[in-house]
Structure 1
Amino acid sequence: MKRLLAIGFTALLSFSGALHATEYKIDTAGAHAFINFKIKHLGYSWLYGRFNEFEGSFNYDPAKPEASSVNVTIKTASVDSNHAERDKHLRGKDFLAVDKFPTATFKSTSFKALGDGKAELKGTLTLHGVSKPVTIAVSEIGGGKDPWGGYRQGFHGTTEIALKDFGIDFDLGPASQIVELTLDVEGIAQSMM
């Protein structure tokens, strides 16, 4: 009898996990998602910026976090450092070369829950025509119903990339080789299984 109850309970847990598997569309229309970056300027200060146009989705099941996946496409010409001349330079051949590489993409390869709302997201970042593996440190912000009858889930992520790894070798000095990325994503559930 105990064995049957254990089997039944395990099946119920598996079924209930499937109930919560959901695809989320990243809420860029409502401006509830951000891709920000910062890099040292000559080693004397920080230069901040962001990408204003991107889209994507993610799948997340709190009962099976390891099955999570993320896909994001960024319009590189939307780079915005709050300075028109600098942005023109960033869009040019020395940096993003947006005419040749109009998009950057991220596609996840694994998601590992670390406990206490923390996780490690691994994937492939394609930038400037170069694809490299990156690891993003993830924190779950929260999830639940919104005032409009939908369901939302939010995460915060951070990572660092070396410009030279992606074929961007414009010399900004030794203190300005690493870009820190901060990703804040709120997704709207497309369907609740």
Structure 2
Amino acid sequence: MKALALTTALLVSGGALAADYNVDPAHSAVLFEVGHLGVSTTPGRFNEFEGSFSLDEGNKSGKVEFTIQADSVDTNHEARDKHLRSPDFLDVKQFPTLTFKSTAFDGKSLTGDLTLHGVTKSVTFDVEKVGEGKDPWGGYRAGFEASTTIKRSDFGVSYFIPGVTDETEIEVFIEGIRQ
């Protein structure tokens, strides 16, 4: 229902020259959390996504593009996931993807356009670089963590507020493989 995120989020630094990376979904994750009835937090994730990013550390600049398959929402509860895919929440038949495209990056914050439920809004992620280096297969990888909080009602998803909180925390863990 919310997630998104995002994804994205990742660009925090890189090589001295611009470098392009493809997201490695086997070593990446898009997670979200919402409150439930004021007594607990329900976590979830999206299992299918793809993206790319580029970095230019010298200019502290970069860009990200990320697409999430909305029907891949997974909260480890089949009936809830089915409801999240319905028109009450993600409406995956009408809005099959969530997307993020960056507009600015300053080395610590990544701002971009998040499209969720057919609505596009500017969102800013706090970004932290985890690391980068050669992998055992002759490639080069870089990893980032990013987080933000959105209001799902800003994206037209207001079903059962406040039973399910409006504020949705999003965390994105990305490992990219340099191309």
* TM-score normalized with structure 2 length: 0.89
| Percent identity over paired residues | 50
**Distance of aligned partners of 1:88 and 1:18 in 2 relative to their CA distance in 1, 3 Å threshold:** closer
Q: Are the aligned partners of 2:28 and 2:173 in contact in 1 as well (CA < 8 Å)?
A: yes
Q: How does 1:1-193 map to 2 (within 5 A)?
A: 20-28=17-25, 31-66=26-61, 68-113=62-107, 119-173=108-162, 176-190=165-179
Contact 1:33 1:184 in 2 (8 A): yes
Contact 1:42 1:172 in 2 (8 A): no
How far 1:171 moved relative to its partner? 1.8
Q: Deviations over 1:2-40 (max 9, x none)?
A: xxxxxxxxxxxxxxx986311000001xx1010000001
Letter in 2 for 1:21: A
Query: How far apart are 1:43 and its partner, in Å?
Result: 1.3
Deviation of 1:146 after TM superposition, in Å, equals 0.4
| TM-fit CA distance, 1:172 | 3.3
Once the two structures are superposed, residues 46-66 of structure 1 have per-residue CA deviations (whole angstroms, 9 ceiling, x without a partner) of 100000000000001222222
- Residues 36 and 163, structure 2, Cα contact 8 Å, conserved in 1: no
**Matches of 2:44 and 2:164 in 1, distance apart?**
17
Alpha carbons 1:144, 1:152 under 8 Å: kept: yes
Partner amino acid for 1:52?
N
- 1:132-188 deviation line (CA, Å, top 9, x unaligned): 000000000011100100000110000011011000010231671110000000000
Q: TM-score, normalised by structure 1?
A: 0.83
Runs of 4+ in 1 over 2 A off after TM superposition: 17-20
Preserved contact between residue 71 and residue 106 of structure 1 (Cα < 8 Å): yes
Q: Which amino acid aligns with 1:127?
A: L
Q: Which has the larger radius of gyration?
A: 1
Higher relative contact order (CA 8 A, sep 6+): 2
Q: Distance in 1 between matches of 2:92 and 2:176?
A: 27
Determine the C-alpha separation between the residues in 2 that align with 1:127 and 1:142. 30
- Supply the distance in 1 between the matched residues of 2:164 and 2:75 (Cα, whole angstroms): 19
**Structure 1: gaps of 5 or more residues:** 1-16, 114-118
Higher helix share: 1
Name the count of aligned residue pairs.
Answer: 166
Task: In structure 2, list runs of 5 or more residues that go unmatched.
Answer: 1-13
How many angstroms apart in 1 are the aligned matches of 2:65 and 2:15?
Answer: 21
